[in-house]
Amino acid sequence: MGVGGILTTRGTTIAVIPGDGVGVEVTDAAVAVLRAVVAQRRWSVTFAEFPWGCNYYERHGRMMPADGLETLARFDAILLGACGWPTVPDHVSLWGLRLAICQGFDQGVCVRPVRLLPGVESPLRGGDDRTVNFVVVRENAEGEYAGVGGRAHRGLDSEMAIESMVYSRRNITRVVRHAFELARSGPSRCLVSVTKSNASQHAGVLWDEVARAVAEQFPDVTMESELVDAMAARLVLRPDSVHVLVASNLHADILSDLTAALAGGLGVAPSANFNLERSHPSMFEPVHGSAPDIAGKDIANPIGAILSAAMMLDHLALSEGALSIRAAVARTTTAGILTPDLGGDCTTRQVTDAVIAHLA
């Protein structure tokens, strides 16, 4: 199967980058579930693992080889665990691996869906799978994470740092259009576009103008505009009024952590970084980080990584397997098989084994 999701004689190839910390544990879990699904359906899927990340950095001075993108380009999809470790500065680990792949492969749209799972309690009073059911669509290539800027007069009292937001009509258009398409397929057919355009008089205003122009192409979808601070309050006070929201790189990053928290925690949240043109592979990863404080304890929640694998199967036109995974996860949480972050006492391995057992 090539990047376009069309079956070929060579089958499907998936690059696996466990990364750092709990990334290794949850990626192992996701791959175990994928292997079980593949075996059940006798699909031709192969996995290749790459030990890139902070351990690689400490040995080689970089997060992945110089030809890392060239290597990954040969695969149909990428499964990433997490990147980051206390021995490597966060900006080095992030830019050296995840952002290098996202920008190098023009993965311009990040989709982060989250829904309250059965058997999981939301911190919201009265929260259920109808009120806690969100899709955050994130501009993923530029915005506040474009990497444009620099520092001057280092070490002096006059030292300064400049970080420039970069918003382009092209990227705003494609991410907002993708969000409209998702909203069109949902029950409410409503989309909330989030900015801070009262303060961001150039970038934020451009976003609002482009969003309104795209909205004209989707007359069957209602679009609302909301400031990011008001959106944060609305997600807590009126979560049932929001299903699909679209925002810039930074704003959507923050809001997706909030939506995940409302669903029980970051451990349940999947994400996908899409190259919409399918000219390069897309990448799938849980929303959470490497969590050094619990790494190696076999208590990391594998659900976010497993559901990210389900998103990957959807992208590869293997949706039958994706549906099976999501149903198995729901059966597992319904049975109360939960890791400590969700109030349970099960290990990463126990949750993974339960999901595999429920795949039938």
What would the mean pLDDT of 326-331 be, rounded to a whole number? 98
Q: Is residue 116 part of a domain?
A: no
Tell me what pLDDT residue 10 has: 54
Residues 215 and 155 both lie in one domain: yes
Residue 5 scores a pLDDT above 60? no
Residues 4 and 48 both lie in one domain: yes
Q: Is residue 97 part of a domain?
A: yes
Residues 7 and 97 both lie in one domain: yes
Tell me what pLDDT residue 11 has: 87
d(CA 328, CA 351): 11
Residues 276 and 255 both lie in one domain: no
* 119-166: pLDDT as tens digits: 999 999 988 888 999 999 999 999 998 889 999 999 999 999 999 999
Residue 7 scores a pLDDT above 80? no
Residues 223 and 185 both lie in one domain: yes
CATH of the domain at 27: 3.40.718.10
Tell me what pLDDT residue 2 has: 39
Residues 5 and 99 both lie in one domain: yes
Residues 213 and 275 both lie in one domain: no
Domain boundary pick from 245, 263, 281: 263
Which structural domain range is residue 169 located in?
122-263
Residues 52 and 8 both lie in one domain: yes
SS3 of 132-143: the string is CEEEEEEECCCE
34-38, 184-188, 235-239: segment of lowest average pLDDT: 184-188
| Number of structural domains the chain divides into | 2
Tell me what pLDDT residue 8 has: 39
> How does residue 39 score in pLDDT terms, banded at 50, 70 and 90?
very high
Residues 9 and 97 both lie in one domain: yes
User: Residue 5, Cβ neighbours under 10 Å: how many?
Assistant: 16
Domain boundary pick from 235, 263, 291: 263
* 189-213: pLDDT as tens digits: 999 999 999 999 999 999 999 999 9
DSSP-assigned letters across all residues of 175-197:
HHHHHHHHHHTSSS-EEEEEE-T
Residues 254 and 289 both lie in one domain: no
Residues 242 and 141 both lie in one domain: yes
Give the active site residues.
145, 196, 229, 253, 257
Residues 307 and 177 both lie in one domain: no
> How does residue 68 score in pLDDT terms, banded at 50, 70 and 90?
very high
Helices (H), the chain: 22-41, 54-60, 68-72, 90-93, 99-104, 169-184, 203-215, 228-237, 249-262, 303-315, 319-334, 348-357
Q: Is residue 114 part of a domain?
A: no
The CA-atom distances, in angstroms, between 117 and each of 139, 243, 267 are 26, 16, 12
